[in-house]
Amino acid sequence: MIRTAIAARKTRLLLCRRGITLIELIVVIAILSLSAGMAGTSWSVLRRQDRERELLFRGNQYRRAIASYYHRADLAKNQFPPTLGVLLEDGRSLGKIQHIRQLYTDPMTGGEWQIIPGPSGGIMGVRSGSLLRPFKEKGFSTANRSFEGAKSYSDWQFVFLPPKKRPTPRLRRLPAPIP
């Protein structure tokens, strides 16, 4: 009888210990799941911030290339490029010029850029098609100052605005000197 009581007590202790181990295992799995979820969230934030920096770089490359095409020194007439492809190889004269190294995709969408047409035709800029809210809201360079307070990446317009022509000053006749 004593042996039976001792055996029953040991069995209850083992069963109780198994229950505790199961609870410990569930707690550990829950902690690991939460940690993995937080790490995944921070990883996606870091990845999007990296794509945002790439958007600024690529958009500014297009702005510079459009400005280079527009201000080509060996041509008398300034004009915007008709397509982004001509920025790779400008064949408007005998010497071909490459204004941009490669055509970039929109890093936020992975697709094509949205084109901003010029007033007299051609392309005067590009912008992203993403409607996500940007992380960066302040501290832009002078060329990108208009991006401050933007609601989405599509509000970041990488546009080349040609300098306004100054009117030639009219010469004013001085009054004749009094003799």
- What pLDDT does 29 receive? 81
Specify the pairing of strand 157-159 against strand 114-117: unpaired
Comparison of pLDDT for 22 and 138, the residue scoring more: 138
Among the listed residues 92, 159, 98, 93, the one whose alpha carbon sits nearest the alpha carbon of residue 123: 159
Tell me phi and psi for residue 164, to 5 degrees.
Answer: -75, 140
65 pLDDT more than 60: yes
| pLDDT tens for each residue of 86-114 | 999 888 777 788 899 999 999 999 999 99
Q: Which band of pLDDT confidence, cut at 50, 70 and 90, is reported for residue 9? A: low
Rounded mean pLDDT of the chain?
83
Look up the pTM and report it.
0.70
Cα separation, 126 vs 67, in Å, equals 13
